[in-house]
Each structure stands twice: as structure tokens, then as C-alpha cells.
């Protein structure tokens, strides 16, 4: 398991995100939510009573990722990813949610704005590549207690 400092060092090696219009966060989130709801494993990934929360997360996600072009800080990026994953996992979202969601984000961006996709793809790929490192850092307290 990598420590936060190692993850920050790794994120510092990423290219700075490039600004590119991608469409409104709401329209991107609608496309992403439709894909997620069509996922065969959606019931395992997101509790049924948290689907509205999922859609809100999708809007906020696209807003945050769009903001990275102007404010990218590797430390802030890693801390935000850890915070967001921790918060949603505490609400019952499975770690596999991010694997599916982030892959769909890349597809939605590529379809709506190849330039936006290319400008932020490295950050998406970084999160995907580090899900195994992020999983223990973002586990709900109940899972951490059971692992001891």
C-alpha cells in the first residue's frame, strides 16, 4: 500500500490538466448517470437509496475535474480523491463504482469533447491505476476495524 506522500509524488509526475470546453457538467453527468444505471452490476456498486446522491456526485465530479486546469496541485488532487472516495464509500458505494464510473467518464468526455478528454485523461488514468492503493486509505471505518 502506498502512503499519501507517495501518491502525491506520483501525481506530481502527471502533465498539468489542459483547459478545454467539454459541455455543461449537468449534461455530462446525465450521460454518465445513464451509463451507470445501465451497468449490470449497479445494485452491487451503488445502494438503491443512494442513486440520487450518485447523480449529484457526477455533476460535482465534472465540475471539480474541469477546475483542475486552473488550480492543479498534486497534493490537493490526491487529498480530494481520498476525501471523495472515503465519503462515498461510507455511504455504501463499492470500490468498484470508481472503476466503472471513471472509465465511463473518459468515454463521455471523448464523445463530447476529444480535446477535454485529452486534457484530463492522465488524471483519470492515474486514479484508475491507483485504485488498489486508494482502497485501504478510503475504506469505511467498519471495514478498517474488521481488518485488524
The DSSP code sequence of 49-99 is GGHHHHHHHHHHHHHHHHHHHHH--HHHHHHHHHHHHHHHHHTT--HHHHH
Domains of the chain, residue spans: 22-147
Cα dist from 148 to 93, 96, 140, 144, whole Å: 22, 22, 13, 7
Per-residue pLDDT band at 148 (split at 50, 70, 90): very low
pLDDT value of position 143: 65
pLDDT tens digits for 49-61?
999 999 999 999 9
pLDDT value of position 145: 53
pLDDT tens digits for 5-16?
999 999 999 999
pLDDT tens digits for 64-121?
999 998 899 999 999 999 999 999 999 999 999 999 999 999 999 999 988 888 999 9
Which residue from 129, 51, 130, 63 is spatially nearest to 92, judged by alpha carbons?
51
Per-residue pLDDT band at 21 (split at 50, 70, 90): low
* Mean pLDDT within 123-141: 94
Do residues 47 and 92 lie in contact, with contact meaning Cβ atoms separated by under 8 Å? yes
pLDDT value of position 147: 47
- Is 22-147 a domain of CATH 1.10.490? yes
pLDDT at 130 over 90: yes
Amino acid at each position: 500500500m502506498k502512503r499519501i506522500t507517495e501518491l502525491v509524488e506520483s501525481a506530481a509526475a502527471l502533465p498539468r490538466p489542459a483547459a478545454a470546453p467539454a459541455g455543461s457538467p449537468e449534461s455530462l453527468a446525465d450521460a454518465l448517470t445513464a451509463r451507470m444505471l445501465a451497468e449490470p452490476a449497479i445494485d452491487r456498486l451503488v445502494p438503491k437509496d443512494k442513486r440520487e446522491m450518485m447523480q449529484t456526485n457526477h455533476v460535482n465530479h465534472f465540475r471539480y475535474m474541469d477546475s483542475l486546469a486552473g488550480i492543479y496541485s498534486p497534493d490537493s488532487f490526491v487529498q480530494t480523491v481520498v476525501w471523495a472516495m472515503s465519503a462515498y464509500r461510507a455511504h455504501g458505494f463499492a470500490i468498484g463504482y470508481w472503476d466503472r464510473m471513471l472509465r465511463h467518464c473518459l468515454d463521455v468526455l471523448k464523445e463530447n469533447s476529444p480535446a477535454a478528454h485529452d486534457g484530463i485523461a492522465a488524471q483519470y488514468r492515474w486514479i484508475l491505476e491507483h485504485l488498489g492503493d486508494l482502497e485501504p486509505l478510503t475504506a469505511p471505518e467498519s471495514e478498517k476495524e474488521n481488518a485488524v
